[in-house]
Amino acid sequence: MALDKFMVVLDPSGEQQPAYERALASCHMTGARLHVYACLGTGQHEQTSPAAVKLFQALFNGCVERARREGIEVTGELEWAADWRRAAVEAATRISASMIFKHYSPHTDVEREIRTTYDWTLLRLAPCPVLMIKNRRDWKNRRVLAAVCPDASSEAHQKLNNQIISFAQRFSDAYGSEAHVISAFEDLHHQPSADMLAESYGIAQEFVHVVRGRPADAIRETAEHIGADLILIGTVGRSGIHGTIVGNTSERLLDHTPSDVLVLN
C-alpha cells in the first residue's frame, strides 16, 4: 500500500493536536492527501456542553482550512457516534486510508490490565497501520526501528514480518529515514541469526539488532540506544489470549517509550 492518504483523528478533549501537526508535516514530506476526522460521543457518560462542542467545531474547521491553505489536498469529517473507536475504524475503511495518525492517550500498567483501553480496540480493528504520536518533537534523528518476530514459523508471523520490513523501507524512502531492525528473544536455544536477518530483509548488518530480553523491554532499550524516533511493531490475533499477549507488547511500548509507535496488524 502506498503512503498516499493519511487520516488524522483529532482529540476533542485537547487544544493541542500533536497528531494533526505530525500528519500535516508528513503530508508536506510525502505529498499524501489528508483526511481530518473527529467524532464526538453520544454515549451515556458523555457530558459535552454546547459551548465545548462549538469550540471544537471551530478547531476542526481551522485544521481543515489550515491544511488547504498550505496546499494539501484535504477532506474533513466530523460525526457523532456512541463509540468513536469503531466509528474511526469505519471511516478509515470508507476512505481507504493508508495510515491513521492519533495522539497517544497515556495509561498505567494497572489500567491496561483491568480493562480494555481505547488503544486496544483501535490498534486491532484498524484496516491500516496506526501511528500513535507521543509528542510534538521532530523526527530529528530520522531513525526507524522495525521489530520483527524471531519465531516466524507460522504463516501469519511471516506475513507480518514482511509487512513490517516493507513498511519500514517505504518510510525510509518517503521520509529519508534510516531503517533498523530488531529481533528480541528470550530462549538462548532459539536465538535469531543477525546474518540471516540482514540477508533476508536486505538490510545492512550494522542496522540489525538481535537482543535477549522481554520483547517490549528489548525494543524500548534498543530504540533509546540508537535514538529511534519511530518504532514499528506488528500485532496478530485480534481476540482471545493470544491477541491479548501480542497486544500487551504494543501497549507496553506505548506506555514506556518516548518514541512514536506505528502498529501494523
The residue ranges of every structural domain in the chain are 5-133, 143-264
First to last CA, the chain: 13
Q: How far is CA 59 from CA 11, 28, 48, 53, in A?
A: 10, 21, 15, 10
d(C-alpha 56, C-alpha 201), whole Å: 45
Strands, sheet with 99-103, edge to edge from the N-terminal-most edge strand: 74-81, 33-41, 5-9, 99-103, 130-133, 260-264, 230-234, 143-147, 178-185, 208-212
Q: Which helix (H) or strand (E) holds 84?
A: helix 84-95
Find which of 29-33, 65-69, 105-109, 152-156 is predicted with most confidence, using mean pLDDT.
65-69
Q: For the residues 150-171, what does the mean pLDDT come to?
A: 81
Domains 5-133 and 143-264 in one fold? yes
**CATH code of the domain made up of 5-133:** 3.40.50.620
How does the average pLDDT of the chain come out, rounded? 84
Going by C-beta distance under 8 Å and a sequence separation of 6 or more, which residues neighbour residue 45? Answer: none
Name the β-bridge partners of 34. 6, 74
Nearest to 79 by CA among 49, 101, 53, 105: 53
What does 108-120 look like in DSSP terms, one character per residue?
-HHHHHHS--HHH
Instruction: Tell the CATH topology of 143-264.
Output: Rossmann fold (3.40.50)
Q: How far is CA 109 from CA 25, 240, 242, 253, 254, in A?
A: 32, 19, 18, 11, 11
**pTM of the full predicted structure?**
0.87
Lowest mean pLDDT among 18-22, 121-125, 152-156: 152-156
